[in-house]
Amino acid sequence: MSDKKADLAGPGIGSYEEIAQILPDDYKSLLNKKDTQKAIYEVKHYISENLCKELNLMMVEVPLIVDEESGVNDMLDRDGSRTPVTFHIKNDYGKNPIEAQVVQAATKWKRVALKQFSMQPGEGLCTDMRAVRKDYFLDHDHSAYVDQWDWEKTITDKDRNLAYLKDTVKKIWKVLKGAETYAQELFPALKNPRYPDLPEELVFLHAEEILQMYPDLPRKQRETEILQKYPAVFIIGIGWTLADGFPHEMRAADYDDWVTETKSDRGMVTHGINGDILVWNPVTKRRHELSSMGIRVNAETLRTQLEMTGQLDLLSTPYHSGIINNELPLSIGGGIGQSRTLMHILKKAHLGEVSVTVWPKILKDMCADKNIFVLE
């Protein structure tokens, strides 16, 4: 049995020898270089427009850098393994300096922005978010440069339940499925029998249920197995400690609510009102995560989760005290990976085919040998 603890964060890939096995040997892009670029912008526009329409969102500007003292940057996991790029802004000859960070995600900033823009229940915002995650292992679908449709929506206390979460997921899935159909209408070559389309619906499963199905497998392998059965799933309860003593995956304690008690469709008592959308990638023949989202913590669950992770010191920051004092609105939100989604819809083997960023020479050479064109 593989080490479950080692599998709690990151892509589950630890070497370029493994990536060499993942990248297909018989790959040929369905679109040429120019059509790929055209398709990228068509799909981006479709998803931005229809996501806002389905969820009642408006597009807003989003920061690339934030003040370290604000507490709004995303630490991604709760084990301290992924830290943001931090730099000193001297400013005013050093008299009024700023300690700044490059955002890793806009998760917490968006909730503050809901208040800033006076978003009422049922209203929300969407951003064209860019971030840097310097501690990622760079493989076929993880890069140091991150792009997302990052969205957040004001809700009421009665919306903080599994039914509301699922209804929102279904609306997002409608947009993603629609984007695939739209891309194939514009570029018929994308309709290829080698690569099945996304299913019309996805399956909802709690992480605890998947653990029961595959108790001896670590997380990534459990996801791989379940996606053989259901090619699109929403895994609920990311962050809660499961029956084997480990969470399905590490999740920060200060945005998604992973402690609220719920009940699965099959009657199991579970925890968490958050989750991830995963699909089967027929090109790489692997799991492929498209989105992470959830109903956010309220004052009670924030304190509970920070107690569980030993991070109560965070309550002194403006963001965290804003939740504790009920100054920030209740919300639901998430991020949809732009390049990840494009990679899947355009049937690409590597993220670098749809995103311009840095890659190690060993990976670029590997892609070149396998007929995979990486943008530079």
Whole-number pLDDT of residue 267: 86
Q: Decide if pLDDT at 1 tops 50.
A: no
146: closest CA among 251, 73, 219? 73
Which is it for strands 98-102 and 86-89: parallel, antiparallel or unpaired? Answer: antiparallel
Query: Could you report the per-residue pLDDT of 47-99, keeping only the tens digit for each?
Result: 999 999 999 999 999 999 999 988 888 877 666 778 999 999 999 999 999 99
Whole-number pLDDT of residue 74: 83
pLDDT band at 3 (very low <50, low <70, confident <90, very high): low
* Average pLDDT over all residues of the chain: 94
Helical H segments across the chain, by residue range? 16-22, 33-55, 107-116, 162-186, 207-213, 219-229, 299-309, 318-324, 338-345, 361-369
Question: What is the dihedral angle through the alpha carbons of 137, 138, 139, 144, rounded to the nearest 10 degrees?
Answer: 120
Whole-number pLDDT of residue 174: 98
Q: Evaluate whether 150 touches 130 at the Cβ level (below 8 Å).
A: no
Whole-number pLDDT of residue 41: 98
Q: Count of H helices and E strands in the chain?
A: 10, 13
Q: Decide if pLDDT at 347 tops 90.
A: yes
Whole-number pLDDT of residue 216: 94
Whole-number pLDDT of residue 240: 96
Mean pLDDT to the nearest integer, 145-156: 97
Q: Decide if pLDDT at 335 tops 70.
A: yes
User: Catalytic residues, which ones?
Assistant: 74, 133, 148, 276, 289, 292
Q: Decide if pLDDT at 5 tops 60.
A: no
Distance CA 62, CA 130 (A): 8
Whole-number pLDDT of residue 71: 84
Whole-number pLDDT of residue 4: 56
**Domains of the chain as residue ranges with CATH:** 5-369 (3.30.930.10)
Whole-number pLDDT of residue 199: 98
Query: Could you report the per-residue pLDDT of 9-42, keeping only the tens digit for each?
Result: 555 677 999 999 999 999 999 999 999 999 999 9
Which three-class secondary structure state does DSSP give residue 293? strand
Dig out the tokens for 222 from the structure.
Answer: 């459990």
